[in-house]
């Protein structure tokens, strides 16, 4: 069964048709730069452009890089503040003329990773973290998502964790893998004190360079790289839309 999955990010909006029973893309993904400023209406029009690119009519699963409750976006760390309090799901549905399910980007990536990736069959407490422009988090208890955790905003040395340890900060500050790895380790250590997870899954683009910084991660819980890389958000979004469309 195919569903359109769209991943809304601060710099790009990417979509593809997803076979939600296999967890794979059935077409090449289409990417459009995120409009700047990333106002709700302009972003909605870009999502519509992606739907039209695939001549899609049907449910759309859409990720968003912020807290999303019942379709309403409640924060906006790396997108325009105009999103705070916007009924994003309704706006996107009206603009695309398709039913839209909106959910947090890390939650979507986690859903895909727990179903088809490295988290498959993992019981206990699993924390998935995505390192990109910000740091996203998704928590699973025996495979069930606890949505909208925002661990990237945990305070470490009086700063949001994502302002010390995101992938963007590594590049911007020109940090060595060792230095950045130690920052990530400090962040995981804080989470370990609070949650005692059984497993950490590290996602985002940097997960494919895991051998560079995993040696500096010294948690008690096992740490593994995500398997689904850039496609996890799109796949997880489509899976969430399938849940409500069936």
* 23/134 with CB nearer ligand BGC: 134
E-only strand ranges, 94-243 = 100-104, 125-131, 135-141, 144-146, 155-156, 159-160, 199-203, 222-225
Nearest by Cα to 198 from 109, 119, 135: 119
Smallest separation (angstroms) from ligand BGC to the CB of 221: 21
Cβ closest to ligand BGC, residue 84 vs residue 175: 84
CB burial readout 218-235, b (16+ within 10 A) else e: eeebebbbbbbebbbbbb
| Minimum CB–partner distance for residue 175 and ligand BGC (Å) | 19
The answer to whether 66 and 76 have CB atoms below 8 angstroms apart is yes
Which CB sits closer to ligand BGC, 2 or 34? 34
C-alpha 55, offset from chain centre: 25
CB of 143 to ligand BGC, least distance (A): 20
Pick 150 or 231: Cβ nearer ligand BGC: 150
Residues that bind ligand BGC (CB under 6 A): 65-67, 75, 77-78, 104-106, 130, 132, 134, 136, 150, 152, 162
Residue 65, helix vs strand vs coil? coil
Q: Write down the least CB distance from residue 58 to ligand BGC, Å.
A: 26
**To the nearest whole angstrom, how small is the minimum distance from the Cβ of residue 132 to ligand BGC?**
6
10 vs 23, which CB is nearer to ligand BGC? Answer: 10
List, in sequence order, every residue forming a beta bridge with 68; answer none if it has no partner. Answer: 73
**CA 31 distance to own-chain centroid:** 16
């Amino acid at each position: 069964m195919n569903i359109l999955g769209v991943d809304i990010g601060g710099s790009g909006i990417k979509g593809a048709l997803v076979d939600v029973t296999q967890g794979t893309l059935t077409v090449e993904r289409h990417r459009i730069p995120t409009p700047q400023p990333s106002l709700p209406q302009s972003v909605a029009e870009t999502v519509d452009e992606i739907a039209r690119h695939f001549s899609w009519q049907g449910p759309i699963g859409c990720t968003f890089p912020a807290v999303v409750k019942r379709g309403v976006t409640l924060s906006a760390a790396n997108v325009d503040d105009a999103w705070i309090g916007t009924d994003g799901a309704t706006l996107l549905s009206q603009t695309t003329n398709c039913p839209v399910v909106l959910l947090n980007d890390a939650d979507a990536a986690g859903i895909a990773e727990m179903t088809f990736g490295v988290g498959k069959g993992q019981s206990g407490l699993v924390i998935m973290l995505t390192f990109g422009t910000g740091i996203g988090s998704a928590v699973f208890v025996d495979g069930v998502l606890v949505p909208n955790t925002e661990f990237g905003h945990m305070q470490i040395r009086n700063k949001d964790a994502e302002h010390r340890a995101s992938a963007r900060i590594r590049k911007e500050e020109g940090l060595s893998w060792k230095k950045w790895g130690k920052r990530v380790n400090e962040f995981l250590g804080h989470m370990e004190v609070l949650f005692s997870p059984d497993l950490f899954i590290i996602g985002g683009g940097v997960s494919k360079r895991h051998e560079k910084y995993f040696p500096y991660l010294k948690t008690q819980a096992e740490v593994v790289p995500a398997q689904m890389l850039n496609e996890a958000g799109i796949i997880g979004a489509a899976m969430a839309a399938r849940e409500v469309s069936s």
